[in-house]
Amino acid sequence: MAKIKKWFRSRKPKHERTYEEEKREFEMAIGKPFINVTIEMPEGFKELRTQFLDLQKDERFLEEVKNLVKKRLVYERRGMKLTS
C-alpha cells in the first residue's frame, strides 16, 4: 500500500499533465502527425537487454520501423479502396 501512495505522490501535478497534452495536440495540429509506441522486450532475450535498449537510438532500426509503417499504410489504403 505504501508503494502505491508513493507512486501517486510522485505523479506530475495536474497542470503539468495538461500542458503535456496540449503541447502534443499543438504539435499534431501544426506539424506532421506522429505516434509513440511502447515495445516490450520479447521473452527469452534477457541476455540482450542492452542491445534491446540501444535500438531506440539505432538509426537503421528506426528506418526499418518507418518502412514497416509505410507498408502497413499502403496496405490500409488498398483495403480502403477495395471496400469503397
Geometric angle at alpha carbon 45, from 64 and 41, rounded to 5°: 55
43: left (phi over 0), alpha (psi -120 to 50) or beta: beta
Indicate the pTM of the whole model: 0.60
Domain that holds residue 6: 2-83
pLDDT tens, the chain, 84 aa long: 776 676 667 666 667 678 888 887 888 788 888 888 999 999 999 999 999 999 999 999 999 999 999 999 999 998 876 554
Domains identified in the chain, total number = 1
